[in-house]
Structure 1
């Protein structure tokens, strides 16, 4: 079972790239972020024509998450976090697909920091941690997939230049501490479980020739519950997708479960 996370950066603008990627890689589940479209304008017909059922939690022009399932309809469990600090933002969607509980997560960016946007990021992460604790305790096969907007470390494994990102909300000690607190519940960082060392980036900015220079960092993560981690066979990043014309600034990141 192949499960992927992909910040599409506007599903209508990137629809040809999305459909191309679905056809080429055929993930069983695709968790999308930043669909940037309302519920009414989500391209359901195109997605179904590609062989995928879908649920989505849209927001016009901003945010928005979706879960696609190949040859199946995801069974929605929850949209939005309990006690979400700002429920007007569409950032969380959870569903059951073929015996696995998957969540599509678009965590707040938090810039500029310090300030209210950074405070919101940390408050949202705290609510995610509380909800994740309940999912963890359920002993289900759970995959928390998404754009976490957190670079886990200053190592070259995770970031091209710690100095360049030193003032960014994605690399602040508080952001990283919140991410570590989530992992400390017992979740497995799937990419690092399969690739314990070496640079693995999932995002390259559109500015300053970041893609050409491989000036990227790792912010798209798939966290696995113990029973899901026991099934982990492989994980990776579809880098080539980022290099295509009119691509998202993120690359799809995926796991394979036995």
Structure 2
């Protein structure tokens, strides 16, 4: 089973790239973030034509998340229950597998804008609500994978120039602590299960030729529960789409799980 995440920064603009990538990399589930379109504009037919179905939570202009999958998505949940928020940042569904149902969550975590801002405080509250909700989800669905744009580079090795980023949003200590609190529930950063090349990033600013200079951050993550972690045999960042014409500023992250066949 292959699971992937990709912040595509406008599905309307990037739909042909997403379809091309799925046909070249037929993953079982692709979690998308920043759809930037309302529910009624989601291009479901384009995905069904290449053998996929989807569930989504859209929002005009901003935010929006989706799960594009090869099989029917069951038990769909939009947003974090009991957290009053009009922003569409979470969608969860259940997929069948040989080892039992797997809960898949696509997450678009808040950016935070600037340390100390209202949006930064919202980000920390949102992370706390996410953690509280995931605690219950993990009890109900021990086989859980939450993929998305976390807007946190967990460690200095995930930052192209840590000295330049000290104290900034995406790397500040409260944000990293919030991310680690999610991991502490019993989740593993799949990318760091394996030896990886230095300077491995998933996001590069459009400005100052950041991609060409590999001046990026690793802020897109695949987190796996303890019940899934040992099935994961690889997790890679596919940088190729970032070199497309008119690309997203993010690129896909793909985790491969080898599951035993049902007896």
The unaligned stretches of length 5 or more in structure 2 are 259-263
TM (normalized to structure 2)?
0.93
Q: Quick one: distance in 1 between partners of 2:76 and 2:52?
A: 18
Q: Quick one: distance in 2 between partners of 1:135 and 1:111?
A: 29
- Tell me which residue corresponds to 1:37: 37
Shift of 1:165: 2.3
Residues 82-110 of structure 1: CA deviation (Å, up to 9, x unaligned): 222x4210000000112211000000000
Of 86, 89, 110 in structure 2, the residue corresponding to residue 88 of structure 1 is 86
Q: Quick one: distance in 1 between partners of 2:167 and 2:17?
A: 32
- Tell me which residue corresponds to 2:261: none
SS at match of 1:191: helix
Residues 225-256 of structure 1: CA deviation (Å, up to 9, x unaligned): 11111211111011111111111110100101
Answer yes or no: is the 8 Å Cα contact 2:103–2:141 preserved in 1: no
- Tell me which residue corresponds to 2:111: 109
Answer yes or no: is the 8 Å Cα contact 1:238–1:253 preserved in 2: yes
TM (normalized to structure 1)?
0.95
Residues 43-93 of structure 1: CA deviation (Å, up to 9, x unaligned): 1111111211000000000000000102x2211431100222x42100000
Q: Quick one: distance in 2 between partners of 1:181 and 1:21?
A: 33
- Tell me which residue corresponds to 1:245: 245
Q: Quick one: distance in 1 between partners of 2:48 and 2:181?
A: 38
Shift of 1:153: 1.1
Q: 1:1-258 to 2 correspondence within 5 Å?
A: 1-70=1-70, 72-84=71-83, 86-98=84-96, 99-138=101-140, 140-155=142-157, 158-195=158-195, 198-258=198-258
Shift of 1:166: 2.5
Q: Quick one: distance in 1 between partners of 2:164 and 2:75?
A: 40
The unaligned stretches of length 5 or more in structure 1 are none
Q: Quick one: distance in 2 between partners of 1:224 and 1:134?
A: 15
Q: Quick one: distance in 2 between partners of 1:256 and 1:147?
A: 18
Aligned residue pair count:
254
Computed over aligned residues only, the root mean square deviation of the Cα atoms, in angstroms, reads 1.3
